[in-house]
Amino acid sequence: MKDALRLELPVLPLRNTVILPHTTTGVDVGRPKSKRAVEEALNADRYLFLVAQKDPEVDDPAPEDLYGVGTLAVVKQAMRLPDGTLQVMVEARHRARLQGYVAAPYLRAVGEVLSEPPLQDASLARVLVGEVQEAFERYLQNHKTLRLDRYQQEAVKSTLDPAVLADLVAHHATWPLEEKQSLLETPEVEERLKKVLALLLRDLERFDLDRKIAARVKEQMDQNQREYYLREQMKAIQRELGGGEDFLTEIEELRERIEKKGLPEGVKEKALKELKRLERMQPGSPEATVSRTYLDWLLEVPWTEADPEVLDIAVTRRVLDEDHYGLKEVKERILEYLAVRQLTQGKEVRGHAPILCFVGPPGVGKTSLGRSIARSMNRRFHRISLGGVRDEAEIRGHRRTYIGALPGKIIQGMRQVGVVNPVFLLDEIDKLSSDWRGDPASALLEVLDPEQNHTFTDHYLDVPYDLAKVFFITTANTLATIPRPLLDRMEVIEIPGYTLLEKRAIARHFRWPFQVREAGLEGRLEITDRAIERIVQEYTREAGVRNLDRELSKVARKAAKDYLESPWEGVRVVDAQDLEAYLGVPKYRPDRAEKAPQVGTAQGLAWTPYGGALLTIEALAVPGTGKINLTGNLGEVMKESAHAALTYLRAHREEWGLPEGFHKDLDLHIHVPEGATPKDGPSAGITIATALASALTGRPVRMDIAMTGEITLRGRVLPIGGVKEKLLAAHQAGILRVVLPKENGPELKEVPEEILKDLEISFVEEVGEVLRLLLLPAAPPPVGPADRPQPGAGA
């Protein structure tokens, strides 16, 4: 047999195992073809080929399902078990390469026996033998399941033959079939020893890593068990002290909520630390209540929850048009702002997203614009009123050391909306106050600064909170009272008052249908445009439409009562002459300007937080000692304008024909009617100068012209603010000509076209132009009795 190189023998396919030479092992044979192969070998010379299957799941393997290299083995013993299985003991002797299969009722192949090649380097082989034996000894010590008897261990230790040692170690090691097959297919002894050593060292490194991981896991488990044991002890102590099961259940619920909430790492750490403090407290103690409330706030404030945002300016335009009439410039500004947000969506643009600030009179739709923006973006809306807030803690919250401490309005609002990306409307930001308790406007700097608000810290929570995803909108009636640093962080969008035509359209298309529905009179009540105009002019006086809405509501409610008392058929129409029956006597006379020229009286225009208004200024010169009396609840700036106007007239006395020495011989009284209303500002300068010049010269002033402009001592007319509102007031009062400073000319682009087409605008640069335009020639003296013609007298 030893001299044979090519053999034709039965083939025994093996599942999940590779049998290497120089080993003796048992094999259970149960498949019919395999049993037939063993029986043929027993009937012949007991030799067969042992070949591993590539896929152990194949029950009837074909030649292509077997590896090409196997082992030549001799059957030492075969025993049939009661279930028909053959238990075969085989002695593997040589490697063999199968060269082809022959036809047979079982697997039979021709194979070439591979002899062991001579050693290339005997000294290297000896070194490798020692290293493999040492590594295998450590492998046995660290392996969790592999156990060899003393005979097997001694066989490995005492083997000096490199080829035998390599096969013995591979036979005992728990390596995958593919790795053992690779060793079987490696005939060179040194190369085989190197592979065996590499596999042993790999497993030793893995054993070491597993041991370290196991030690770490054990340590963690010991810590967890210790905490569990201590927690159970604490529960038992609390039960003895009367803590009750409810408190313990509450602690566990809080722990579970903290784990599930998805808090930022620093916040979670602080929450767990606070929970440990709470566990050590008595349930009924005040400190426990404080800790419990604090944990509730941490868990109820949103940290990651967000609504899916919709950024589509087409949708926003549609929503704004549905909810608001007019405001074309305002809507364009909003759409421009949101277009940038849409194009930069998903990009890091922190520090480049200003806060919107809507500035305008009451009732023009600032708050409702915020609601519409939120609706168009699919965001939740929350309004915070800042009017009268004078305590910094209202914004930043109180520290937990105070009794009854709570977070500030910002964190309270975040808890209420429940998402990290709402629309926040900070209403009446110009009404903030400050006192010894702090300056809330300064606290708002961190809230509204895109560079800082991603780490906003509320004094109560005492952890950074990200406000960067909140869309902040602020509203104000005037910019004058907003602190400059706060205003610098906001994008101002001015919302002017409505014209008569706009108010009529808003009432007709928006507010009247709503009030009729609210009153339950749909299809039964209508109102004419003349009635709406009369309500605007005689029952309301405002820049917005809030009072107009109230008056329309009164009409609808009165009609509802009448309908229940005496139902009518068809549709009742409310006309202008019917309004006194619904709303009573008109509250205001139409603000119509006087048209007849007056001496010592001039028609000015003023800006108020509620829109523009006519400002009549009266001046009277009486004998006296040169005193100046200013009345009408005037502010310091307006008083200074009066003195500047008087000084200008003294400097140009001869040019305008003023009495010589009038500043010493006459007392001048300047009065602005409606003294209960405070008035201030420099824009009445030219109006005061005109009234004074008229009073001193006796020349009447044209009252069909209104004017506005600041005066200087040199007689220059400087630009003023509120041009649009002032022109709206003039138009509503029936004045068709207005005098404006020349530098205000570009601002006419903001005035509605239907207003400009009815007005004649005169631009001036000097006070002299104003006086020449406004002052009429003096009236002739009245005819006395002596000057009348006598009867019968003639030339």
Choosing from 35, 331, 503, 726, which is the catalytic residue? 726
**Which tokens is 434 given?**
């400050």
Tell me the Cα Rg of the chain. Answer: 51
DSSP 788: S
Residue 360 assigned as binding residue: yes
Identify which of 82, 98, 105 has the alpha carbon closest to the alpha carbon of residue 32. Answer: 105
Query: Can you give the length of the chain in residues?
Result: 795
Please name the residue that has the structure tokens 């590499």: 198
Backbone angles phi, psi at 717, to 5 degrees: -110, 115
Q: Residue with structure tokens 């200013």?
A: 630
Q: Are 760 and 737 in contact (CB under 8 A)?
A: yes
Place of tokens 């009742």: 572
- Alpha carbon 537 to its chain's center: 44
Contact status, residue 110 vs residue 40, Cβ threshold 8 Å: no
Cross-strand partners of 74: 47, 91
Amino acid residing at 359: V
Bridge partner list, 29: 86
Cα(10)–Cα(776) distance, integer angstroms: 137
Query: Burial, 476: exposed, middle or buried (Cβ in 10 Å; 0-12, 13-18, 19+)?
Result: buried
Task: Return the percent helix, strand and coil in the chain, to nearest 5.
Answer: 45, 20, 35
Catalytic residue among 683, 694, 724, 757: 683
DSSP secondary structure string, 523-558? Answer: TTEEE-HHHHHHIIIII---SSSHHHHHHHHHHHHH
Residue 543 CA to residue 59 CA, distance in Å, equals 93
CA distance 681 to 645: 14
Rounded distance between C-alpha atoms, residue 46 and residue 54, angstroms: 25
Residues paired with 484 in a beta bridge: none
The two tokens of residue 341 are 């947000």
Query: Residue 683 catalytic?
Result: yes
Distance CA 674, CA 578 (A): 31
Is 365 annotated in a binding site? The answer is yes
Distances (CA, A) of 597 to 294, 698, 705, 778: 72, 12, 10, 11
Residue 589, class by beta-carbon neighbours within 10 Å (0-12 exposed, 13-18 middle, 19+ buried)?
exposed
Give the tokens for residue 271: 């929450």
Alpha-carbon torsion angle 743, 745, 751, 756, nearest 10 = 140
366 labelled ligand-binding: yes
> Checking phi first, is residue 346 left (phi over 0); if not, alpha (psi -120 to 50) or beta?
left
Flag whether 361 is marked binding.
Answer: yes
Q: Element (H or E) spanning 102, and its range?
A: strand 86-102
364 annotated as belonging to a binding site for a ligand: yes
Q: Per the structure block, which two tokens stand in for 765?
A: 């640069």
544 is in an annotated binding site: no
**Angle, CA of 436, 440 and 444, to the nearest 5°:** 155
Can you name the residues that pair with 71 across neighbouring β-strands?
A: 50, 95
**What is the C-alpha to C-alpha distance for residues 776 and 598, in angstroms, rounded to an integer?**
10
Q: Classify the phi-psi angles of 436: left when phi > 0, otherwise alpha if psi is within -120 to 50, otherwise beta.
A: alpha
* Catalytic residue set: 683, 726
**Annotated binding-site positions for ATP:** 360-367
Q: Which residues are annotated as a binding site?
A: 360-367
